[in-house]
Amino acid sequence: MPFFIKNRKRKPEKSQNKKQRFNDSQNKSDVRKPKKKFLGEELDSDSDIPSDNEGKKMYSSSEEEEETAQEKKLRLAKQYLSQIQAEEAENLEDEEIHRDIVSHRLKQDILEQTGRLHKQVADDYIPPTIDDITVLRGHQLSVTCIIISSDSKHIYSGSKDCTIIKWDTQTCRKVYTVYGGKKNGGEGHSAHVMSLAISSDGKYLASGDANKEIHIRNPDTMEKIKVFRGHRNTVSGLAFRKGTHQKGSHQLFSASHDRAVKIWNLDEMTYVETLYGHEDAITSIDSLTRERAITAGGRDASIRIWKIIEESQLVFHGHMGSIDCVSLINETNFVSGGDDNSIALWGVMKKKPMVLVRNAHSGDSEENSEYWISAVASLQHTDLIASGSKDGLIRFWKCGDDFKSLKPIFSLPVTGFVNSLQFSKDGSFLVAGVGQEHKMGRWWRIKEARNSICIIKLSKANEP
C-alpha cells in the first residue's frame, strides 16, 4: 500500500584492501591447521576422566532436561487452559466448570487476537451522575498518568510532583507512595513522572519521567528492580505487549520526545531495539497482543503502527495539528485526539480517518482553540470510547457499525485538565487523572481544579 514503509537495509561493509585480505586468509588458514598432540602429555589424575557409566548418566540427564519446541507449546497450552479454568472458577459459585464455558472463552480470545471481537455495549450504559464520582487526593501537582491493574483492584498514578501512588479501588485509600527526589533514599523519580504501564500478569510496573529514565518495580511491594537509561529526552509513553508472559517473556515499548521507540525485554532486563520514523516528539503509545505498537507523533501530525516482525511501519495522517493521544480499540481499529479539538476513528486498512469529529470539546464559547484533546480511552473490543480536555467535561462516545460513525452518548462534569483516562477491564468504572495544568506544560492553569484521581462508576440499565 502507498503508506507502507519498510526500513532500509544495512549497507554492506566496505571491502578490505588486498594486503589485509591476504593477512586474514593466512590467519584463517593457520586456524584450520590441526595442532599436533605430544605423546608425553599427561592428565592430572585418572579421576578427571568419566567412566562409561558416568558418561551415559550425564548424557541421559541432559537429554531429559532438553525441551523440544512442540513440547514447549504443549506445556504453555496446558498452563493457559489451567489459567482460564482458574479464572472462570472464581466467577462461578460451583466448583465444577463446564467445557462450554472454556470453549467460549477460547473462541473469545481467538477473536480478540485477530481483531474481530467487537461487543455492542455503549447503549447499555446509563449516564453517570456526580454521586458516581469518587475523588482521591494525594498528589501536590497535576496528575499526568494513571494505570489500572488487570484485576481492577489497584490504581497507580503519576504526577508532576515526581511521586507514584498506589491506590486500593475497594477502600479508595493509599496503599503506598513512592516519593521523588531525595526522599526514601532516592528510590523515586527525580523529575516529573510522565508515563505508566503494568504487565498483564501484574508482575512488573514501569514508569517513565522527564529525566529520560524508566523505572521497573514490583507492583505488589513497589520495590524498584531496575532502571533503564537510553532515551535522550522525556519518556512520554509506555506500553506492555499483552499476553507475552504466557510465552515466557515480558515485552515493553517506550516512546520519547527524542522521536524514538525502544523495545525492552524485562525477563532478561535488557534493551532489544530502537525504532525510528517520527519527525517530532512522540506523545503517546499503545499496544495489544500482536507484536506491534502504535504511536502518536505530536506535531509531525502522524500516527504510526510499528510491525516489529516485518520490520515495517504503517503511517496515518488526518489531524490538522499535533496528535496528542492515541488508544487501540482492537487490533484493527484505534482512536486519536489532537490539539485541533478533533477526535478521529481509524482502521488499519485506510491511511485517512474513517470518522473525524471536529470541535469535539468545544466548551462554552465559540473560541475552541484552547480545548485540546488531552486524553482518549477505549473499552477495548467494544464500541465505547471516552475523551477528555479542559472544557470541564469527560465525554463518552459510541462507535457505529464497522466504525463508520462516532456519536456522543453522554458526558460528566469534571473541573480541570483531564490528562489521562482508562477503563477497567470489565467496564465497571472509568479512572481519570485530573490536574490544574496540562501534563506537557503550563500554558494555562485552572485554579479551582484539584490535582486528583477520579473514579467514575459506570452502570448498565439491565443490571440490578
Query: What is the DSSP code string of 191-252?
Result: S-EEEEEE-TTS--EEEEETTSEEEEE-TTT--EEEEEE--SS-EEEEEEPTTGGGGT--EE
Q: Provide the 10 A C-beta neighbour count for residue 366.
A: 7
Tell me the pLDDT tens digit for each residue of 70-82: 776 677 666 666 6
- Which of the listed ranges 58-62, 240-244, 422-426 does the model predict with the highest average pLDDT? 422-426
Check: CB of residue 451 under 8 Å from CB of residue 139: yes
Check: CB of residue 116 under 8 Å from CB of residue 109: no
CA angle 199–203–207, rounded 5-degree value: 60
In this prediction the pTM is 0.77
Residue-level pLDDT at 41: 37
Check: CB of residue 399 under 8 Å from CB of residue 329: yes
Average pLDDT value for residue range 400-417: 93
Q: How far is CA 187 from CA 19, 138, 229, 254, in A?
A: 56, 19, 15, 21
Tell me the pLDDT tens digit for each residue of 87-119: 656 555 444 455 555 565 555 555 555 555 568
Q: Provide the 10 A C-beta neighbour count for residue 282.
A: 27
pLDDT level of residue 402 (50, 70, 90 thresholds): confident
Percent pLDDT > 70 in the chain is 71
Check: CB of residue 101 under 8 Å from CB of residue 88: yes
CATH class for domain 122-460?
mainly beta
Domain range list for the chain = 122-460
For residue 363, give every residue at least 6 positions away whose Cβ sits within 8 Å of its Cβ, in sequence order, or none. 370, 371, 391, 392
pLDDT level of residue 5 (50, 70, 90 thresholds): low
Residue 37: pLDDT over 80: no
Residue-level pLDDT at 60: 40
Tell me the pLDDT tens digit for each residue of 178-212: 999 766 667 899 999 999 999 999 999 999 999 99
Average pLDDT value for residue range 282-303: 95
32 DSSP assignment: H
Check: CB of residue 426 under 8 Å from CB of residue 169: no
Residue-level pLDDT at 104: 52
